[in-house]
């Protein structure tokens, strides 16, 4: 049972750490270092692996948690389930739709912000950002519950 606790903690730490590094370090550096279109392309290339990472870490955390059923089981289970649901929603709905919209928008630097495709992309981006920050907050809560 001790090894499962270590695996659970490691999965949560890697998940929330990955979200934190990508969200608060990598993405801002890319957008400061490159033009909007290039930074967006780079981030778009990273997203599929980013979401697979979150799904893998979340799956391991969930499986470990279900077997351990230790202290704070129910709150942790709810948090992990919500985090996994949001990551899945982002991976399988938001990201593919946003990627499609990015292919339809010739340039974010020259296409007006009020263009219908840009407005739709901005809406998806906002939903994605809230989802991502919620996953990060859930991970922080899980670390506190540890």
Q: Per the structure block, which two tokens stand in for 4? A: 């499962």
Show the tokens assigned to 61: 């955390």
DSSP codes of every residue in the chain: -HHHHHHHHHHHHHHHHHHHHIIIIIHHHHHHHS-HHHHHHHHHHHHHHHHHHHHHHHHHHHHHHHHH--TTHHHHHHHHHHHHHHHHHIIIIIHHHHHHHHHHSS-TTTS-TTSHHHHHHHHHHHHHHHHHHHHHHHHHHHHHH-
Q: Please report which confidence band the pLDDT of residue 1 belongs to, taking 50, 70 and 90 as the band edges.
A: confident
Q: How far is CA 9 from CA 49, 56, 139, in A?
A: 21, 14, 11
Alpha carbons 121 and 44: distance in angstroms, whole number:
13
pLDDT band at 56 (very low <50, low <70, confident <90, very high): very high
| pTM for this prediction | 0.91
- Are 46 and 29 contacting, i.e. CB atoms less than 8 angstroms apart? no
pLDDT digit string (tens) for 88-138?
Answer: 999 999 999 999 999 999 999 999 999 999 999 999 999 999 999 999 999
Judged against a pLDDT cut of 80, whether residue 70 lies above it is answered with: no
Confidence of residue 16 (pLDDT cuts 50, 70, 90): very high
What is the reported pLDDT for 145? 84
pLDDT at 50: 96
How confident is the model over 27-51, as a mean pLDDT? 96
């Amino acid at each position: 049972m001790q090894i499962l606790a270590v695996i659970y903690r490691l999965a949560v730490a890697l998940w929330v750490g990955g979200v934190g590094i990508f969200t608060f370090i990598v993405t801002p550096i890319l957008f400061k270092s490159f033009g909007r279109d290039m930074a967006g392309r780079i981030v778009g290339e990273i997203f599929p692996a980013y979401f697979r990472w979150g799904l893998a870490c979340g799956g391991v955390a969930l499986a470990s948690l279900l077997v351990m059923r230790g202290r704070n089981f129910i709150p942790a289970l709810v948090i992990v389930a919500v985090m996994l649901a949001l990551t899945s929603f982002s991976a399988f709905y938001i990201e593919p739709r946003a990627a499609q919209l990015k292919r339809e928008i010739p340039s974010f630097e020259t296409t007006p912000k009020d263009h219908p495709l840009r407005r739709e992309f901005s809406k998806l981006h906002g939903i994605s950002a809230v989802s991502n920050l919620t996953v990060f907050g859930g991970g922080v809560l899980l670390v506190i519950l540890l």
